[in-house]
Structure 1
Amino acid sequence: MILRVWDVTLTVSDLERAVDFYERVLGLSKKYQFSDYAGFDCGGVEIGLQPGTPPETQEGAPCLDLLVRDVDEVYRALSEQGVRFLKEPHDTPWGGRIALLTDPDGNRLQLVQIDWRKYFTACAS
């Protein structure tokens, strides 16, 4: 059966532009790149980028959550680099502080900071 998530692959319209965003702007480490794919390490899970026609973003579209230590700090740093946010940092009832952004192709990425004490309390109730 399933052991763990190995890879999440996103469709991008311009591979070089997307590689620049994930490597330079988000600071992910590129593992390798071919003409039709680039792979980045994200805490042991690969984020893959594959050229194609990205689907139109719609409400309820898939979202890739990225765990960070300080959502507000990362929000400020990415905003200064021109990253487009759909939702500014805000608290959740389950102990998270989150901010929603998109990559250059509209793929949804969410910065997540977790107060583990609040999270486990919310899960237990």
Structure 2
Amino acid sequence: MNSDFQIKGIGQISIRVHDMEAAARFYQETLGINLLFQIPNMAFLECNGLQIVLSVAEDPRFDHPSSVFYFKVDDIQSAYDTLVERKVHFLDQPHIVAEMGGTATWMTFFQDPDQNVHALMSEVPVSG
């Protein structure tokens, strides 16, 4: 094993899309993620220091569903309500997925215009 090699972090994450205009609008306007710039078949966004690239597959071998993104929010119910008003399709309602060390992790899953599944997540202190 070469000891000079080390992963330093994530440079960017790509999400495969089919309709660039609809996807860019969804991530920028509906979810409120900052659009850095857009070129034909690609849009670059920034979310709290993480670069997200929306891209149309240039080759059928790369046209597949994306990974699940877990977007952190402070108040998951409020975020859920806001996105429901914005016509986001949710697969479930906010629910607790785990309680550990005095913290409850809440999640709810939704789809973007290309049916990629993502989630909202919130970590909430548990009293008691």
* TM-score tier after normalising by the smaller chain length: 0.7 to 0.9
Q: After TM superposition, where is structure 1 displaced by more than 6 Å over at least 4 residues in a row?
A: none
TM-score (norm 1): 0.83
Identical counterparts, % of pairs? 27
Report which of the two structures shows the higher radius of gyration computed on alpha carbons. 2
* Aligned residue in 1 for 2:54: 49
1:71-99: CA deviations, max 9, x gaps?
Answer: 10010000011100012100122421111
Secondary structure at the aligned position of 1:93 is classed as strand
1:111 equivalent in alignment to 2:120: yes
Instruction: Spell out, residue by residue over 1:88-123, the C-alpha distance to the aligned partner (whole angstroms, 9 max, x if none).
Output: 1001224211110010001111101013x56xxxxx
Structure 2: which 5+ residue stretches go unaligned?
1-5
TM-score, L = length of structure 2: 0.81
Tell me, yes or no, if structure 1 residue 2 matches structure 2 residue 3.
Answer: no
Q: What does the per-residue CA deviation read over 1:31-61, in whole Å, with 9 as the maximum and x for residues that have no partner?
A: 1111121111011111110013753x6xxx7
Alignment counterpart, residue 97 of structure 1, candidates 87, 106, 115: 106
Q: d(CA) in 2 for partners of 1:30 and 1:93?
A: 33
Number of residue equivalences: 113
2:75 to 63, 70, 77: 70
What amino acid sits opposite 1:6 in the alignment?
A: G
Q: Deviations over 1:17-36 (max 9, x none)?
A: 10000111000110111112
Consecutive unaligned residues of structure 1, counting only runs of 5 or more, are 119-125
